Amino acid sequence: MKIELELTNRQHVLELAEKTLMVFTGDDRPSVEEFVMFLEMKVEEIRTKRLIEVI
């Protein structure tokens, strides 16, 4: 169930990323995968900051 949910969430994230990337034009437009990796990195930074604040 958890894996299925993660896959569903990942698909949702990919769809949102594609829609978001439509605002980019030209050569500076990142790929969907690059954009998702960027978002995942930002989420991890936020989790780390929260963890540090708790400690």
5-53: per-residue pLDDT in tens?
565 677 777 777 777 777 776 677 778 788 888 888 888 888 888 777 7
* Residue span of the structural domain in which 38 resides: 2-54
- Inter-residue contact 23 to 32 (CB < 8 Å): no
The answer on pLDDT for 55 being more than 70 is: no
Concatenate the DSSP letters of all residues of 20-51 into one string: HHTT--GGGPPPHHHHHHHHHHHHHHHHHHHH
Q: Is the dihedral of CA 33, 43, 7, 23 positive or negative?
A: negative
Question: What is the domain count for the chain?
Answer: 1
- Measured from the Cβ of residue 36, the count of other Cβ atoms closer than 10 Å reads 18
Q: How far is CA 26 from the centre of its chain?
A: 21
Give the predicted TM-score (pTM) of the model.
0.49
Of residues 3 and 43, the one with the higher pLDDT is 43
